[in-house]
Amino acid sequence: FGSCCSGTRGVGKTALLRRYVAGAPGAAEPEPEPGAEAEAEPTVGVEFYSRARQLPAGPRVKLQLWDTAGQERFRCITRSFYRNVAGVLLVYDVTNRKSFEHIQDWHAEVLATQGPKVIFLLVGHKSDLQSSRCVSSQEAEELATSLGSAFIETSARNNCNVEMAFDTLTDAILQALQQGDMELGEDWGGVRLIHKAQVPSSPSRKQHAGLCQC
Asked if the structure places residue 154 within a domain, the reply is: yes
Domain count, the chain: 1
CATH number of the domain that 12 lies in? Answer: 3.40.50.300
Q: What is the pLDDT of residues 121-180, one digit of tens each?
A: 999 999 999 999 999 999 999 999 999 999 999 999 999 999 999 999 988 988 888 888
- How much of the chain, in percent, has pLDDT values that exceed 90? 37
* Spatial CA neighbour of 173 closest among 54, 79, 88: 88
Question: What are the residue ranges of helices labelled H in the chain?
Answer: 13-22, 75-82, 97-101, 103-114, 137-147, 162-178
- Please report whether residue 33 resides in a domain: yes
HSE, CB side, 13 Å, CA atoms: give it for residue 34: 12
Q: Which domain holds residue 105?
A: 2-178
Global confidence as pTM: 0.78
Length of the chain: 214
Please write the tens of the pLDDT for every residue from 81-114: 677 788 999 999 999 999 999 999 999 988 888 7
